[in-house]
Amino acid sequence: MSAPTFGPGVAEGSVRIFDTTLRDGEQAPGAGLTVAEKIQVARQLVRLKVDVIEAGFPAASPGDFEAVRRIAEESKGVSVAALARCRDGDPQRAVEAIRVSERPHLHVFIATSDIHLKHKLKMSRDQALAEAVRWVRYGREQLGRDAEVEFSAEDASRTDPDYLLAVYAAVVEAGASTLNIPDTVGYAIPAEFGSLVARVKALVGDEAVVSVHCHNDLGLATANTLAAVQAGARQVEVTINGLGERAGNASLEEVVMALRTRPTQFPTLTSHVQTEQITPASRLVSLLTGFSIQPNKAVVGANAFAHESGIHQDGVIKNPLTYEIMTPQSVGLSGSQLTIGKLSGRKGLQKKLRDLGYHIDGPELDLVYREAIALADRKKEVTDADLIAIAEQQVAEVHQAVGLVDWEVTSAHGGDSRGHVTLTVEGAERYGSSRGNGPVDALYGAVDAAIEPVLAWRPALMSYEIRAISGGEDAQGQVVVRCRRSLDAAPDSETVSGQGLSTNIVEASLDAYLVATNKLRAIELGESGAVIPPPRRGEELP
């Protein structure tokens, strides 16, 4: 095999971090993002300094195409990748979406395991190989020598190894500069996966970058990824918070911090990730998708740097290294309690927000400042968690087709409640009232009564969750709801999340419901805030 080396490759001594939060991460059921939210996450990934942002699957929908195109156009200093099946139509849309990127990265895939070939694709091995070669060659011809063309053999870990190597050899000859080995269903264990990676690396040498994409069905995604790096892989495909199909993907924060924390296990290898931006990225993705981070999640969980037992506390006080293998500051945590009072000024607030990893200025800073000072008037202490929640709430703001003017609710023993709201709906003031089995139910019914005559639909509440932001009787509460339009009967119709934040949990509930309502209205109007639908049913992506 003597194919020329294409694409930018990987710098000596580094591991390329390929973030697929906006593609595979968004395939997690219920994790759909609007175009505006995807761009917000992409901006944070640029600050995080990942090497590649896989922005989406352009052939999936017009919304996904637009999101990929806009991210490719805006993101500088980073490669922008688009996924495409080895099927006529997909690669063309992907190339069109990323052509504007300063570093386009085409990612084509086809299944190679016998179970996928027989039952899903109904295709022979020879046919699959021919399609792989055809579309790799197309990508190279369209994007030129300097672009990255990546090929993935879906379900590689369950593919006959000899056939898999034949496919990889053929696509390198056709112009692939990166070969991805996906453990699509999380089937592999570290020893066997590392052995497979070593065989592929021995086959291609320096003619292509070996990449891995591991799923977490057996809880081994991070372990398999690290075993692959030790075996010669130099690109890792990961997601923020391990988000992804089924049990999720290898977690960016776990893989990156393992490389940094265990240098003797990965000699001379490093990543370019700005690790201090990990926590802000984790919180942003959690907020926008509505997926909570489990408290004991490695690196970014609420308990990752918490010590409760007396023995641990004593050790950490004497020397943090006794029970911490990395510092909170290294992943973007301040490591100290932050207090803001009603007499604090904007400059002081801005510095404290920067210490927490939030770079906010201008009108956004004014909004956060007003909320923080108002909160300081209502409760004893404004904590780090309160400030983080207020800052993130500004990120989640959406254009208001439906705005809140006033609300009132009364409740009585036995659960009977009466809610009243005054709203602006498409610029006109509307009033609604309703009875309910509690104050939140009554207010949601009142909102429905006010908007349904104008919009001809109302939100259908799919889930409702309350989160305590901080401790104490005056703590802020964050409410996260998921809704779809009531007229959408299909079970896979667009579902959006809405967030509300207040010391009054009823008010937070109302705000969350209105945020979701505005997102649904944007979908109906086909605006850029439209939620991007998931891939078509039955389509398993690597």
Beta strands in 366-476 (DSSP E): 402-411, 417-425, 428-436, 459-468
Per-residue pLDDT, 317: 57
Query: Is residue 388's pLDDT more than 80?
Result: no
Q: Are residue 326 and residue 344 in the same domain, yes or no?
A: no
Per-residue pLDDT, 417: 92
Rounded Cα–Cα distance for residues 537 and 27 (Å): 11
pLDDT tens digits, residue range 467-518? 877 666 667 788 889 898 886 545 556 888 888 888 889 998 998 999 899 9
* Eight-class DSSP state of 186: S
Q: Are residue 204 and residue 256 in the same domain, yes or no?
A: yes
In a domain, 541, yes or no: no
Rounded Cα–Cα distance for residues 262 and 457 (Å): 55
Token readout for 136 is 């790799």
Burial label for 491, CB within 10 Å (0-12, 13-18, 19+), is exposed
Please, are residues 49 and 76 in contact by the beta-carbon 8 Å criterion?
no
Token readout for 74 is 């805006």
Q: Are residue 477 and residue 409 in the same domain, yes or no?
A: yes
pLDDT tens digits, residue range 353-379? 776 777 788 888 888 888 777 777 766
In a domain, 3, yes or no: no
Model confidence at 532, pLDDT cuts 50, 70, 90, reads very low
pLDDT tens digits, residue range 213-272? 999 999 999 999 999 999 999 999 999 999 999 999 999 999 999 999 999 999 889 899
Burial label for 123, CB within 10 Å (0-12, 13-18, 19+), is middle
| Among candidate residues 378, 395, 412, the one where a domain is terminated | 395
386-391 mean pLDDT: 75
59-87 mean pLDDT: 95
Q: Are residue 316 and residue 365 in the same domain, yes or no?
A: no
Secondary structure (H, E, C), 501-539: EECCHHHHHHHHHHHHHHHHHHHHHCCCCCECCCCCCCC
Burial 504-515 (b: 16+ CB within 10 A, else e): ebbbbbbbbbbb
For a pLDDT cut of 70, what percent of the chain falls above it? 84
Rounded Cα–Cα distance for residues 3 and 151 (Å): 15
In a domain, 537, yes or no: no
18-46 mean pLDDT: 91
Per-residue pLDDT, 540: 42
Query: Is residue 449's pLDDT more than 50?
Result: yes
Model confidence at 336, pLDDT cuts 50, 70, 90, reads very low
Q: Are residue 327 and residue 343 in the same domain, yes or no?
A: no
Query: Is residue 535's pLDDT more than 50?
Result: no
Closest CA to 173 of 202, 199, 207, 147: 207
| Among candidate residues 289, 317, 351, the one where a domain is terminated | 289
| Among candidate residues 376, 395, 414, the one where a domain is terminated | 395
Amino acid at the residue 400: Q
In a domain, 294, yes or no: no
CATH value at residue 443: 3.30.160.270
Q: Does an H or E element contain 166, and which?
A: helix 161-174
Q: For residues 310 and 415, which has the higher predicted lDDT (pLDDT)?
A: 415
CA atoms in the 13 A half-sphere facing the CB of 139: 40
CATH value at residue 62: 3.20.20.70
Query: Is residue 542's pLDDT more than 50?
Result: no
Please, are residues 515 and 507 in contact by the beta-carbon 8 Å criterion?
no
Closest CA to 289 of 20, 23, 25, 18: 25
Rounded (5°) CA angle 25-28-33: 70
Q: Does an H or E element contain 358, and which?
A: none
Query: Is residue 437's pLDDT more than 50?
Result: yes
Q: Are residue 406 and residue 389 in the same domain, yes or no?
A: no
Q: Are residue 149 and residue 212 in the same domain, yes or no?
A: yes
In a domain, 41, yes or no: yes
pLDDT tens digits, residue range 219-232? 999 999 999 999 99
Per-residue pLDDT, 8: 67
Query: Is residue 529's pLDDT more than 80?
Result: no
pLDDT tens digits, residue range 40-65? 999 999 999 999 999 999 999 898 99
Give the residue numbers spanning the domain of 424. Answer: 402-525
292-318 mean pLDDT: 66
Task: Give the bridge partners for 108, in sequence order.
Answer: 84, 151
In a domain, 354, yes or no: yes
pTM: 0.75
For residue 96, the SS3 value is: helix
Task: Give the bridge partners for 249, in sequence order.
Answer: 215
Rounded Cα–Cα distance for residues 357 and 359 (Å): 7
Q: What is the DSSP string of 231-293?
A: TT--EEEEBGGG--STT-B-BHHHHHHHHHH-TTTSTT-B----GGGHHHHHHHHHHHHT-PP
For a pLDDT cut of 90, what percent of the chain falls above it? 57
Average pLDDT, the chain: 86
Per-residue pLDDT, 166: 98
Per-residue pLDDT, 541: 43
Structural domain count, the chain? 4
Q: What is the DSSP string of 293-312?
A: PPTT-TTTSTTTT---SHHH
In a domain, 418, yes or no: yes
Q: Are residue 238 and residue 319 in the same domain, yes or no?
A: no
Q: Are residue 379 and residue 277 in the same domain, yes or no?
A: no
Model confidence at 536, pLDDT cuts 50, 70, 90, reads very low
Q: Are residue 343 and residue 243 in the same domain, yes or no?
A: no
Query: Is residue 320's pLDDT more than 80?
Result: no
Rounded Cα–Cα distance for residues 184 and 215 (Å): 6
Token readout for 396 is 């989640």
- Which of 135-144, 173-182, 328-337, 398-407 has the least mean pLDDT? 328-337
Q: For residues 82 and 387, which has the higher predicted lDDT (pLDDT)?
A: 82
Residue 313 phi/psi, 5-degree rounding, is -60, -45
Q: Are residue 350 and residue 473 in the same domain, yes or no?
A: no
Model confidence at 310, pLDDT cuts 50, 70, 90, reads very low
In a domain, 60, yes or no: yes
Q: Are residue 414 and residue 269 in the same domain, yes or no?
A: no
